[in-house]
Chains A and B, each alone.
Chain A
């Protein structure tokens, strides 16, 4: 294991005999944004046919590094060479021609176009008359998508696919052109365990075919499952690289954070008395499309988890409570009073806040400063007689960002300029600032690094200890088991099981999530994702 902390990573040693050939070398890469040094003097080698993982905390510079390789961002300094020859990746099309394909952190598909149209967008096949050759493209699309194990039709619009299927289309799109290096920035973040398994099968298949892969993830177990080598970034510097085989999880975490993090699961004081006041009562909640007669209660100081696959209705339940969707039947009561909110504003006034799943479209106003985004739901509190109290706002925002370990240079930076994980934290900051009593959190840890994840769980438990109640939706059942007092399992819009902390059983939860005992469970239960 090489451990470099002093930034002398420019001069990578020549590869000794016996090791596979080097496909790509990045050396001395630096990139600054106003107020942030995103990368300083970073070097990186990718060997032919390897799966390399790039890890680091939120804002460490992973995505920036990959955008440089994709030709989407220009570095301030540094060189890149492919097969030993220096190249200038001045544009995304140049990178494509060099055989570099990138799947960005946010999916880039066009929602209303079909699978085949998306696959060949920007890489259209023409016949000898210069017309689009749809026959050829469709034939190739069918073949590519079949190889990827995509079950559906290639004529369906992207918006009608699940996120996992969309992810397959992204991969398909990347390999429609000759691809020597495939870059994937947090591709597994929105996937559940089965989907991840399938995804890994495809990744290994691509690797066998000789493609090199760079894979970014915050789920460390995934690194040990598929990757050959790992490169660690911290604060824009390369701090280490290692073969995965010679590495333990705790060593990896220490490299990432620069300090030890006890991987022991924390135990918190759990103060929910079984007879604590019921703060939220959902009774027979049904919607036209999905939910069927969902009922549950939430107590003061309780952390309740909703476990389920994509499309199980977990997000819909939160949306109905928050008032953005209207149920077709059923009642919701808060503090004993009817609480069928007509919209988010009413819900927030009633002390209920939602952190939505889709941070880009629903959660954040990307072009607006961090400050505006954090105080959006609590603006009335900052209104003075003449003007908004900016000083107070700044102080509150700084305080919250510190509590949530947001990496930012100024409260006035547009939120869209933060790294993905840090954007996620800004949504949480807003809910905290709104001082709601009931937190509805849809995938609150998506894209968040190991260190900050622990901090967020601590925060959730602390909120509960102070009398707030929390409902969490997560694709990662281990996280629910870790932090919740109670878990409700959902399948196709129905409640299929409920467990209190004392009876938590991963196997049982998985079975219920898959539809209960009646159907033979396919789920492989075991090691944590």
Chain B
């Protein structure tokens, strides 16, 4: 019930934002802008869905932006070297999975704090992309399929949006109906009790980091396709913050054990609408960040504070 409540208050935030955006810019509700908005939101949304899974399990993944850059760089260089489509798609995705395995192993097997582990891999992954390309962007002439990922449409709906929605549905199904989803919630809510109850905690954690990295990899492919280049240094910078913000606006508790993929969807839309509106209004990038922070704070207070305060009271009054 609590979950549904917080989603509702996110929806209110989103609705208010949409109304304000429409009033502020006459251009906002044009087909062209909405399609563009959805395109941009899908990218952050796909990453936020993976981040949401990690955060529900009680972790965090700061390396998603670097995975986006690494995947783009690999794909661009493979495409430029003339490899067939399968290789151009699968090798970068495999690299993303390896990145997820590295994150997961550091956290689940070696016991590093998720924040520390993924802060380290954030620099390592970006660094390896830069080393691989000698620090230079790689311009690529992508095969049609990859270009379609970024620019194509299904009956007017942008391809990335379709992909995003498919990912939301799959994740919803996994988290809600599969045993692994159940265990992700249990581990996030009380890792020790889950362990005593026979849950293989390390496997669950490993799964969440690999899942998150895989989605970041897909986002990386979309981004590089859109830009027509692999940008080892520039792509995906600060994406982790947008993704985390989307998750938090979506009502997922950073301490884990609670949250839903629909929240992440709404959260991503809030972030997307905000960036879009700032661009329409021509707000300078530095002011964009400042005001984005303010709006995120407001959204978190509206969406997250209710349950949070409730939890404090529940704890105080709990008779265990």
A residues in contact (CB < 8 Å) with B: 63-64, 67, 72-73, 92, 104-106, 185, 324, 343-345, 347-349, 354, 356, 359-368, 372-373, 376-377, 379-380, 382-383, 386-388, 416, 419-420, 423, 430, 434
Stretch of B104-112, B133-141, B188-196 that contacts chain A: B188-196
> Closest 4 A-B residue pairs measured CB to CB?
A387-B177, A106-B320, A376-B197, A63-B319
Residues of B within 8 A of A382 (CB): 179
Task: Report the separation of the CA atoms of residues A376 and B179 in the bound assembly, to the nearest whole angstrom.
Answer: 10
26 A–B contact pairs at CB < 8 A? Answer: A64-B319, A72-B316, A72-B317, A105-B320, A185-B319, A324-B196, A343-B195, A344-B198, A361-B190, A361-B193, A362-B192, A362-B196, A365-B193, A365-B257, A366-B318, A367-B189, A368-B186, A372-B185, A373-B197, A376-B186, A376-B194, A376-B198, A379-B183, A416-B320, A423-B320, A434-B198
**Chain B contacts of A379 at CB under 8 A?**
179, 182-183
A300–chain B nearest beta-carbon distance, Å: 23
The answer to whether A73 touches B317 (Cβ under 8 A) is yes
Q: How far is the CA of A362 from the CA of B192 in the complex (A)?
A: 6
**In the complex, B314 has a CB within 8 A of chain A:** yes
The answer to whether B320 touches A420, judged by C-beta atoms less than 8 angstroms apart, is yes
B258 lies within 8 A of chain A by Cβ? yes
Please give me the residue from chain B that is nearest to A375 by CB atom.
Answer: B182
Besides A364-B193, A368-B185, A368-B189, 8 other A-B contacts (C-beta < 8 A): A324-B196, A361-B193, A364-B190, A365-B193, A372-B185, A376-B186, A377-B197, A419-B319
Number of interface residues of B (CB under 8 A): 27
Cβ contacts under 8 Å, A372 to chain B: 182, 185-186
Partner of B190, one of A92, A366, A377, A419: A366
Q: Which residues of B contact A376 (CB under 8 A)?
A: 186, 194, 197-199
Give chain B interface residues in 164-209, CB to chain A under 8 Å: 173, 177-179, 182-183, 185-186, 189-190, 192-200
- Is the pair B192, A67 in contact by a Cβ cutoff of 8 Å? no
How distant is the Cα of A368 from the Cα of B197 in the complex, in angstroms? 13
The residues of A that contact B193 with a CB separation of less than 8 Å are: 361-365
Task: Say whether B319 contacts A345, CB under 8 Å.
Answer: no
B182–A92 CB distance below 8 A: no
Taking chain A's interface residues, is the majority helix, strand, or loop, or is none over half, making it mixed? helix
**Smallest CB gap from A419: residue in B:** B319
Judge whether A366 and B258 touch: CB under 8 Å: no
A344: B residues at CB distance < 8 A = 195-198
Residues of A within 8 A of B177 (CB): 386-388
Chain A residues near B186: list those with CB within 8 A.
365, 368, 372, 376
SS class, residues of chain B in contact with chain A: helix
On chain B, the residues within 8 Å of A72 by CB distance are 316-317
Residues of chain B with a CB closer than 8 A to A386's CB: 177
A57 to chain B minimum Cβ distance, whole angstroms, is: 15
**What's the minimum C-beta distance from B213 to chain A, rounded to whole angstroms?**
25
Task: Please pick, from A348, A416, A419, A430, the residue contacting B314 in the complex, using a CB distance under 8 A.
Answer: A416
A388 touching B178 in the complex, CB below 8 Å, given contacts A105-B319, A367-B257: yes
Contacts of A365 in B (CB 8 A): 186, 189-190, 193-194, 197, 257
A368 to B195 CA separation, bound complex (whole angstroms): 15
* Complex Cα gap A73–B183 (Å): 32
The answer to whether B199 touches A360, judged by C-beta atoms less than 8 angstroms apart, is no
Q: CB-CB < 8 A to B314: which residues of A?
A: 416
Chain A residues with CB under 8 Å of B189's CB are 365-368
Asked whether, in the complex, the Cβ of B179 is within 8 Å of the Cβ of A345, the reply is no
B143-157 at interface with A (beta carbon < 8 Å): none
Q: List A contacts of B317 (CB < 8 A).
A: 67, 72-73
Give Cα distance in the complex from A106 to B257, angstroms: 22
**Roughly how many angstroms separate A365 CA and B189 CA in the complex, as a whole number?**
6
A416 and B179 in contact (CB under 8 A), knowing A365-B193, A376-B199, A377-B197? no
Contacts of A430 in B (CB 8 A): 197
Distance between Cα atoms of A334 and B194 in the complex (Å): 24
Chain B residues positioned under 8 Å from A345 (CB to CB): 198-200
Distance in angstroms between the alpha carbons of A387 and B182 in the assembled complex:
11
> In the complex, A388→B178 CA distance in Å?
6
Q: Which residues of B contact A419 (CB under 8 A)?
A: 319
In the docked arrangement, what's the CA distance between A367 and B190, Å?
9
Write the nearest CB–CB distance from B184 to chain A, whole angstroms: 12
A362 CB contacts on chain B under 8 angstroms: 192-193, 196
Task: Name which residue of chain B comes closest to A412, CB basis.
Answer: B1
Choose among B183, B192, B200 the residue with the greatest number of A CB atoms under 10 Å from its CB.
Answer: B192
Within 8 A of A (CB), among B283-319: 314, 316-319
Contact between chains at A104 and B319 (CB < 8 Å): yes
Interface string of B67-106 (1 = CB under 8 A from A): 0000000000000000000000000000000000000000
Query: Counting chain A CB atoms within 10 Å of each CB, which of B193, B195, B320 scores highest?
Result: B320
- Among residues of B, the one whose C-beta sits closest to the C-beta of A345 is B198
Q: Which of A387, A419, A423 has the most CB of B within 10 A?
A: A387
Contact A380 B319 (CB under 8 A): no
CB distance from A74 to the nearest CB of B (A): 10
Q: How far is the CB of B149 from chain A (nearest CB, A)?
A: 29
Q: Which residues of A contact B258 (CB under 8 A)?
A: 367
Residue of B nearest to A387 (CB): B177
> B56 → chain A, closest Cβ, in Å?
12
Residues of B within 8 A of A416 (CB): 314, 318, 320
- Which residues of chain B have C-beta atoms less than 8 A from A324's C-beta? 195-196
Bound Cα distance A423, B318 (Å): 12
Selected contact of A380 from candidates B179, B190, B196, B318, CB within 8 Å: B179
Are B190's CB and A348's CB within 8 A? no
Whether the Cβ atoms of B320 and A359 lie closer than 8 Å is: yes
- Bound-complex Cα distance A191 to B290 (A): 56
A67 to B199, CA, bound (A): 34
Residues of A within 8 A of B173 (CB): 387
Query: Closest B-chain residue to A106, C-beta based?
Result: B320
Which residues from chain B contact A434 at a C-beta distance below 8 Å?
198
